[in-house]
A and B are shown apart, each in its own frame.
Chain A
Amino acid sequence: NAGVTQTPKFRILKIGQSMTLQCTQDMNHNYMYWYRQDPGMGLKLIYYSVGAGITDKGEVPNGYNVSRSTTEDFPLRLELAAPSQTSVYFCASSQGQGAGGPQHFGDGTRLSIL
C-alpha cells in the first residue's frame, strides 16, 4: 500500500546544479501538489496539477518546473540550485475536486544546497 512515494529522501547539491525530485502515487488521484517547508514555517505550494497534462503555479514557483505526463507521476525540477532552495519538499495527491478533498503526503525530500 505505497500511497505517495518520493525519491530521493535526502540530497546535497552544489549551487548551480540541477536535479529532479520524483513523486509517484498509486491511488489514481487526479490532483497532485508540490510543497516546500522551511524550518519553523508552514507549507508553501510550489506547483500543482489537476490532471495529466495540466499544471499551474502555486505560491512560490520561481526556480522550479514541473510536468505531468501521466496520472501517477509529478516530478519537480530545479534547474539552477540556489541556497534559498534548501528546504524539505513534500509531494501530495488528492482525489477530490473543488474544495474539501484531503491530501495524502509523501515522506518528503530533504534538500540542501551548498
Chain B
Amino acid sequence: RKEVEQDPGPFNVPEGATVAFNCTYSNSASQSFFWYRQDCRKEPKLLMSVYSSGNEDGRFTAQLNRASQYISLLIRDSKLSDSATYLCVVTPLTGGGNKLTFGTGTQLKVEL
C-alpha cells in the first residue's frame, strides 16, 4: 500500500462548480498534513495546512479524519485558475528532518 494515495483524476468541472478531493495515508503516526498545488511543469506551492479541527481559506476547505486516515480538500465556486494538480502531503512526527511524503496528485481541470 502506498504511503499516500490519491485519485489521479482528471476531474473536469465547469466553472463555478464545487469539487472535492480525498487522500488516504497509511502511517497512523503521521502528524502534519498539507495540500500543495502544482501547475504544469512548475514547482509545488503550499496551498494550505490541514488541522484536526478542519480549516478554511476563502473558497478552500480542508478536513482531516484521523480515525479513517484520510484528508479532504473542498473547492467551492471553481475558477479557471484553479486548474492544477493538487498534492496531498503528510509528515510523521518521528524521523526528523521535517520530511514530507507526497501523493501523486489529483488533476483538476476547470472549464468554461
B-binding residues in A (CB < 8 A)? 31, 33, 35, 40-43, 45, 48, 50, 56, 58, 88, 90, 94, 96-108
B92 close to chain A: CB less than 8 A = yes
Of A33, A35, A100, which is within 8 A of B32 by CB?
A100
Q: A102 and B43 in contact (CB under 8 A), knowing A42-B102, A48-B99, A56-B97?
A: no
Q: What are 11 residue pairs bridging A and B, where the CB atoms are less than 8 Å apart in the complex?
A: A33-B99, A35-B102, A42-B104, A43-B44, A43-B102, A90-B44, A98-B93, A100-B91, A102-B34, A103-B46, A105-B44
Q: Which residue of A lies closest to B87 (CB)?
A: A42
B97 touches A50 (CB 8 A): yes
A31 and B43: CB pair below 8 A?
no
List chain A residues, Cβ under 8 A from B98: 31, 94, 96-101, 103
Closest residue on chain A to residue B103 by CB atoms: A42
**Interface pair B92/A99, CB less than 8 Å apart:** yes
User: In chain B, what residue has the closest Cβ to A95?
Assistant: B98
18 more CB-based (< 8 A) A-B contacts, given A42-B103, A96-B98:
A35-B102, A42-B4, A42-B105, A43-B87, A43-B102, A50-B96, A50-B97, A56-B97, A99-B31, A99-B91, A99-B92, A99-B93, A100-B91, A100-B98, A101-B98, A102-B34, A102-B49, A108-B43
